[in-house]
C-alpha cells in the first residue's frame, strides 16, 4: 500500500477500535510512526480522511450490490448480497456508531451522504422488486419502498444497538450475524410458498453463526 492508503486503513482500524471521536490525526500519525506534518501532506484534516473512507464505503455498496439482470434467479444473488452486507457492517461500523456527529461536522460529506442514501434506497427497492419478479417474495409497489426503508434502518442502526446493549461497549465480528438474521426475517414475512424453505435455510445459516456471538457483557 502507498502512504495514503496506509493512513486510510489505519484510520478505519483505530476508529473502529476506539471510536471516531477518541481518535485524532496525531493518534493516526503516531500509530503509523510518522509525523503529523507528513500525514497533513496527504490529508488536510480528519474530516478529509473520513471523506475518503466514505468513498470506499460508497464504492463497496455500488460494486457488491449490482442490480439483478432480467432472467437471473434473484434468490441466487441474496446470499452474496448478505455476505457483502456483513463485510460492510463490520468494516465500517464506526461510521454507523457516530453517524450524526460525523455528518454534523462536515456539510459537504452530509450532502454526499444524503444524495447517496437516495440512490441506495432505489437500489434496495430494485433488488426487492427483482425478488418479487422471481416469485421469491410477494409484495406490492408501496410495501416495496417501505421494506427498503426498513432494511436500511436495520442495517444502519444495528451495530450501535448491539454496542449499547453490552456493558463493555465493545463490538465483535459475530455481532453482525444477528443483524443479518433480522434482515432475513423481514424478507421471510413476504416469502412465497416457492421460497419459504429456501429463506428459512438461509436464515438458519446466519442464526447458527449469530449464536456463536458472545452473550457476556
DSSP code string of 128-167: HHHHHHTTSB---HHHHHHHHHHHHHHHHHHHHHHHHTST
Question: Is the pTM of the predicted complex or chain greater than 0.75?
Answer: yes
H or E segment at 124? helix 107-133
pLDDT at 2 over 90: yes
Lowest pLDDT segment from 31-35, 47-51, 157-161: 157-161
pLDDT at 213 over 60: no
pLDDT tens digits, one per residue of 182-207: 999 999 999 999 899 999 999 999 99
Per-residue pLDDT reduced to its tens digit, 111-129: 999 999 998 899 899 889 9
Q: Which helix or strand (DSSP H or E) is residue 99 part of?
A: helix 99-104
List CB contacts of 40: < 8 A, sequence separation 6 or more. 25
Dihedral sign of CA atoms 88, 90, 95, 97 in order = positive
137 neighbors 188 (Cβ within 8 angstroms): no
Half-sphere exposure of 214 (CA within 13 A, CB side): 12
> Per-residue pLDDT for 95 more than 70?
yes
Q: Choose among 163, 189, 190: nearest CA to 176.
A: 163
Q: What pLDDT does residue 217 have? A: 46
Nearest 5°: phi and psi at 144? -65, -45
The dihedrals phi and psi of 4, each to the nearest 5 degrees, come to -65, -45
What are 121-164's pLDDT values in tens digits?
998 998 899 899 989 999 999 999 999 999 999 999 999 999 99
Question: 3-state class of 217 per DSSP?
Answer: coil
Tens digit of pLDDT for each residue in 52-81?
999 999 998 878 777 776 767 778 888 888
For residue 215, what pLDDT is reported?
A: 52
Instruction: Sort 216 into a burial class: Cβ within 10 Å, 0-12 / 13-18 / 19+.
Output: exposed
pLDDT confidence of residue 209: 87
pLDDT at 212 over 90: no
Amino acid at each position: 500500500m502507498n502512504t495514503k492508503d496506509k493512513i486510510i486503513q489505519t484510520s478505519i482500524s483505530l476508529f473502529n477500535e476506539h471510536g471516531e471521536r477518541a481518535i485524532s490525526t496525531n493518534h493516526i500519525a503516531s500509530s503509523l510512526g510518522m509525523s503529523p506534518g507528513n500525514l497533513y501532506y496527504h490529508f488536510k484534516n480528519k474530516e478529509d480522511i473520513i471523506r475518503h473512507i466514505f468513498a470506499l464505503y460508497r464504492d463497496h455498496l455500488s460494486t457488491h450490490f449490482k442490480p439483478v439482470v432480467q432472467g437471473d434467479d434473484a434468490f441466487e444473488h441474496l446470499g452474496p448480497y448478505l455476505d457483502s452486507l456483513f463485510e460492510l457492517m463490520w468494516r465500517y461500523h464506526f461510521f454507523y456508531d457516530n453517524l450524526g456527529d460525523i455528518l454534523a461536522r462536515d456539510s459537504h460529506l452530509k450532502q454526499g451522504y444524503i444524495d447517496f442514501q437516495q440512490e441506495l434506497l432505489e437500489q434496495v427497492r430494485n433488488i426487492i422488486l427483482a425478488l418479487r419478479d422471481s416469485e421469491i417474495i410477494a409484495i406490492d409497489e408501496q410495501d416495496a419502498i417501505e421494506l427498503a426503508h426498513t432494511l436500511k434502518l436495520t442495517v444502519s442502526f444495528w451495530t450501535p444497538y448491539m454496542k449499547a446493549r453490552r456493558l463493555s461497549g465493545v463490538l465483535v465480528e459475530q455481532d453482525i450475524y444477528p443483524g443479518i438474521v433480522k434482515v432475513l426475517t423481514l424478507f421471510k414475512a413476504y416469502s412465497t410458498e416457492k421460497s419459504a424453505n429456501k429463506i428459512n435455510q438461509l436464515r438458519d445459516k446466519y442464526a447458527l453463526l449469530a449464536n456463536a456471538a458472545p452473550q457476556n457483557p
